Amino acid sequence: MNVTTDSSQETQDPSRSETVSRADKIASRTNENLMRRLQKALDADPGIDLLAFFPQNYAERVRRQKKAIAADNAVVNLNRRTLEGLQNRFTRDPEFNLPSAVPYDYEPLFSNFKNPTSLLSNGDQAEPPIPRDLRNCLKPEDTVSILSPISQIVWKLLLKSSSEVASFGGFSLVLTSSLINSLWAGEVLYDFTTRMVLKYGDEVVAKILGRRHTNEYSTLQYLEEKLPGFPAPRPYGLVCIGNYLVLFMSYVPGTTLRAAWPELTDDNKFSIQNRLQELFSRLRTLRQDDGLPLGGVGGEGVKDDRISSGETDRPILSAREFVDFQFSNPKFGSRSYVQFLRAFLPDPKTGSIFTHGDVRTANIMVDKDENHSWTVTGIIDWEDSGFYPDFFESTKLTRTMNVVDEDDWYLYIPNCIAPAQFSLRWLVDRVWDKHPQWT
């Protein structure tokens, strides 16, 4: 989710005054900043308590619960629905009162989900509502289109045999029904907002995306061709059903580095750091010259979550143009401030480097062998990948870092993508990212 708005939409609205007061600007920036903080907090921990980011009188009532009880799926879904509602309100009116838009039943629902033994007013035990499941949005009457060939192993999941596919045809109602039934049969690995990840045994993963964005699948195909053997999921097929995409890919075994990190020794951490250094050094050998579009390898364009919808339809053909794009949000700072800040930066290097775009411990898979040594089994979640300036991986990977949490992962980032390699770029980006909190 992105919380900034495109100023062109505002200027075209005749109902708004052309003269905006400083108070209105500050109110808009405050709301914009708070929404961005909410998104970043949810990226770091989908089960976080949303009210902790609202005024103190809200936070005090839930802080005691947070220490004692771990968040569960019901809380994740409640927070997701609440944030989606806030986003919709923000889109319509960037200056609305954020706390007043939190549903009146958020707190009792949050309490009931956190404490399953909570009682209703009549003394009965509270039954939390069934959380929304993205698969409920898929309908038997939806049209199915195969955007990229489906592997034999996936066909076996969809139908009993590949001969049935031939007899009914790839776009039949039978295929639609089989696809939906197969998705319901998968084991849920991840469920958040507009994406869900399902597992089938130890071979196949299906990822449902709530929007038609093919960037991740294009990347998996590209890596399979350019870096065979690189530990990323193998592409097994891409299907469109209604307004949703289903990406089939190979399952990467192990657990996330985020889950394993607390039990790792210093030697384990250094070993993983060295392996990641090898992997990201290989990834960064994939380069292209200026003049070719930056962003997804399938032509999906560049992304930056501080710019309007986070993407741009116009081609970005050089690192210099990408930096212009990064500083182009007119609601994010005055022109004189932007000019002042950019004066610290040297001209970017020409060309671009293949970039994962979301390097964090939740997207690194590891496993422990019988000798208690940990190995990296794969890198997952390539939704934000593509060709970007050489510094972009380093500035992007600390987007969920804060000054409060003790997380020494950031001390073990592989050297080739460490922020220290691009210290000035990282520092200016950090100021650009955080300055609305000070205005």
pLDDT tens digit string along 16-27?
A: 333 344 444 444
For residues 189 and 96, membership in a common domain is answered with no
395: left (phi over 0), alpha (psi -120 to 50) or beta: alpha
For residues 44 and 164, membership in a common domain is answered with no
Identify the pLDDT of residue 29. 53
Domain limits for position 315 = 255-438
User: Are 171 and 144 spatial neighbours (Cβ–Cβ below 8 Å)?
Assistant: yes
For residues 72 and 212, membership in a common domain is answered with no
Whether 397 has a pLDDT exceeding 80, the answer reads: yes
Dist. CA 199–CA 186, nearest whole Å: 5
> Can you name the residues that pair with 353 across neighbouring β-strands?
287, 388
For residues 51 and 173, membership in a common domain is answered with no
In a domain, 81, yes or no: yes
With residues binned 3-state (H G I as helix, E B as strand, rest as coil), the percentages for the chain, rounded to 5, are 45, 15, 40
* Of the candidate ranges 58-62, 152-156, 307-311, the one whose mean pLDDT is the lowest: 58-62
In a domain, 125, yes or no: no
Identify the pLDDT of residue 433. 78
Structural domain ending residue among the three candidates 232, 250, 268: 250
In a domain, 310, yes or no: yes
Identify the pLDDT of residue 19. 39
Give 290-327 as a DSSP string.
TTSPPB-TTS---B-TTSTTSB-SS---SHHHHHHHHT
For residues 184 and 227, membership in a common domain is answered with yes
Per-residue pLDDT tens digits for 163-219: 444 444 444 557 888 899 899 999 999 887 678 999 998 999 999 997 768 999 999
In a domain, 33, yes or no: yes
For residues 232 and 261, membership in a common domain is answered with no
User: Angle at CA 169, nearest 5°, toward 148 and 150?
Assistant: 25
Tokens of 132: 């929304």
Domain count, the chain: 3
In a domain, 298, yes or no: yes
Q: Return the beta strands (E) in 301-419 as ranges.
A: 352-355, 364-368, 374-379, 386-388
Domain of 425, CATH number, reads: 3.90.1200
In a domain, 287, yes or no: yes
For residues 209 and 339, membership in a common domain is answered with no
In a domain, 85, yes or no: yes
In a domain, 168, yes or no: yes
Identify the pLDDT of residue 60. 46
Dist. CA 376–CA 273, nearest whole Å: 10
For residues 211 and 278, membership in a common domain is answered with no
For residues 262 and 396, membership in a common domain is answered with yes
Dist. CA 315–CA 135, nearest whole Å: 34
Whether 65 has a pLDDT exceeding 50, the answer reads: no
Nearest to 378 by CA among 267, 286, 249: 249
Arithmetic mean of pLDDT, 96-119: 58
For residues 12 and 80, membership in a common domain is answered with yes
Per-residue pLDDT tens digits for 67-104: 433 344 567 767 777 786 677 666 656 666 676 566 64
Whether 3 has a pLDDT exceeding 60, the answer reads: no
Nearest to 236 by CA among 165, 145, 151: 151
0.85 exceeded by the pTM? no
